Amino acid sequence: MRKFAHIAPRTIEEAVSALQRYGDRASIIAGGTDILGKMKDEILPKYPEALINIKTIPGLEFLKEEAGVLRIGPLVRLEDLAKEPRIREKYAALAQAASRTASPHLREMGTLGGNLCQDIRCWYYRNPANRFPCLRKGGGRCYAIEGDNRYHSIMGGSVEGGCYAVHPSDTAPALIALSAEIITSKRTLKAEDLFQVDIEKTTVLDSDEIITEIQVPRPAPGSKSAFLKFAIRKSIDFPIVNCAAGIAITAGKVKAARICLNAIAVKPYRAVKAEKAILKQRVNEQSAEAAGNAALSEAKPMERNGYMVQIARVLVKRAILACRE
């Protein structure tokens, strides 16, 4: 790799101050499994001058339940989330999503905060040496529109710029289905408000803003959550489509539902139509299938990704069925 400065802050303030000094010329490194790949391939027009290593800040790896809220530090490794019995039992979608992310080795290194903030995997964006200076890097066009878009968005492009790359996170839809909140060094956000389509980034975070905590409220009694992922290989692969659902059933009928798809749109896609369709229904094959169809009723597949629509419908259906007792 090319030369860069390595900064090891000891407090969040030190990290923020270093980020402010560098503006957008420095990058945060947490698990390193995304940023180092980007740097080795030199996919972006500018190479970071410095890496601000937030693993040297103590106190960001906590995992505890307090006053009905699960509090997770941003540096908690995905494998620890996947294996923690309390999370597998009560926040199943999150544990399942973490356990199906990447590979065991990458889960031992990768962090929850990093998984949320990770960059897109569009193969034009990721082509080495900035072979395709696309819209998402500040360039003039999206190459996927006329190119090979088999893994790109089936729900249209981003409103302003027309980027069609999907968000690749597995934990993002699980956190959205579980009504999580993200606390940063500047503000508190609902999980679904964290994401946006921007140049060389996938979140609303400023260049000097760090996630400091992820909070998940204790699911109401009678709730279950589930996460499903479709990919070609069972390990290592990013999702082609994934779906998380959190459903509360009272007296046999759905009292509340949160269903979130990802890897099908430019941001994690909350399937509001599916939620409305399943509300107050009994959960069975028919109602779950109807909800799946409703979720994708406004799909706008591109030339080569029409197959993702059916996969998404089925994942919604199966995620709902997985939540019934």
Least distance between other proteins and beta carbon 231 (Å): 12
Positions touching other proteins (CB under 8 A) are 1-6, 8, 10, 14, 17, 20-21, 23-24, 29, 32-33, 36-37, 40-41, 51, 53, 55-56, 77, 79, 102-106, 108-109, 138, 160-161, 197-199, 206-208, 234-236
Which tokens go with 2?
């090319």
Beta carbon nearer to other proteins, 48 or 301: 48
CB distance 199 to 133 below 8 Å? no
Least distance between other proteins and beta carbon 32 (Å): 6
Beta carbon nearer to other proteins, 53 or 293: 53
Between CA 139 and CA 148 the distance in angstroms is 19
Between CA 151 and CA 146 the distance in angstroms is 13
Least distance between other proteins and beta carbon 248 (Å): 31
Least distance between other proteins and beta carbon 1 (Å): 4
Beta carbon nearer to other proteins, 165 or 296: 165
Q: Is 251 left (phi over 0), alpha (psi -120 to 50) or beta?
A: left
Least distance between other proteins and beta carbon 323 (Å): 24
Calculate the CA 146 to chain-centre distance. 26
Beta carbon nearer to other proteins, 103 or 130: 103
Beta carbon nearer to other proteins, 2 or 251: 2
Beta carbon nearer to other proteins, 207 or 281: 207
CA neighbours within 13 Å on the CB side: how many for 222? 10
CA neighbours within 13 Å on the CB side: how many for 190? 8
Q: Which amino acid is at 219?
A: P
Least distance between other proteins and beta carbon 138 (Å): 8
Least distance between other proteins and beta carbon 111 (Å): 13
Least distance between other proteins and beta carbon 58 (Å): 13
CB atoms within 10 A of CB 248: 17
Beta carbon nearer to other proteins, 186 or 276: 186
CB atoms within 10 A of CB 290: 16
Beta carbon nearer to other proteins, 69 or 236: 236
